[in-house]
Amino acid sequence: MTNEFMMVIFTALLFVATTFLFFATQSLVKNAEDTARRQLRAYVHVKGVRLIDEPVIPGSEWKELRIEVLFHNFGQCPATELEYWLNFGVHEFPLHTSLLEEHVQRIAVISPHDTFTIKIAVPLIDAPENQRFALYVFGHVRYFDGFQSGRETHLRYMRRGSDDWSWEGEFELCQEGNHVT
């Protein structure tokens, strides 16, 4: 074999290896971008829903029953242009009706790893005294992440009817009506 022939074979092998390396690098770059989008986006989720009996004025003995919903941004980026709506009501259990009422509220930005709380005053309502009824809290949060992608968190929590339904305590997550995009 001549030196020229060896040079041609070496150049051909070098071309094949460089082409393979180019496509492998392209795949790595795409995977890194996808990972960055997942890791660096905002993730706003419900941290907890509970019924609390708190003083209307700090230090006062006059208390008001409230539903407290805690949202948390678990992501690495702020959630911007955030808007939410929440509502509650006593409905049959299991739920067969639609919970569609919407009252939009706005909050500008939720920083990474920050929590915000929404408190809703609960007026005097007829307590569901048996297991056929439940107190539901439902709603959703819409926001944009750092990549300007629209995201939503839908929630539905409940407390089943019983003698102690209106005591302070946590709501339980419903099996349906909760999802995140």
Cα separation, 113 vs 138, in Å, equals 23
Residues in the chain: 181
Q: Is 138 buried (19+), middle (13-18) or exposed (0-12) by CB count in 10 A?
A: buried
90-123 pLDDT, tens digit each: 878 877 777 766 677 777 788 999 988 888 888 7
- The half-sphere exposure of 165 on its side-chain side, counting CA atoms within 13 A, is 22
Query: Model's pTM, two decimal places?
Result: 0.73
Q: What is the pLDDT of residue 49?
A: 93
Token match 């009824």: residue? 133
Tokens (6 digits) for 68: 């407290």
**Two structure tokens written together for 19:** 């082409």
d(C-alpha 49, C-alpha 36), whole Å: 31
Res. 19: pLDDT tops 90:
yes
Neighbours of 153 (CB within 10 A): 20
Q: Name the DSSP class of 19.
A: H
> Where does the pLDDT of residue 127 fall: very low under 50, low under 70, confident under 90, or very high at 90 and above?
low
Q: Does domain 41-180 have CATH number 3.40.50.1970?
A: no
Single-letter amino acid code for the residue at 42? A
Q: Output the average pLDDT for the chain.
A: 84
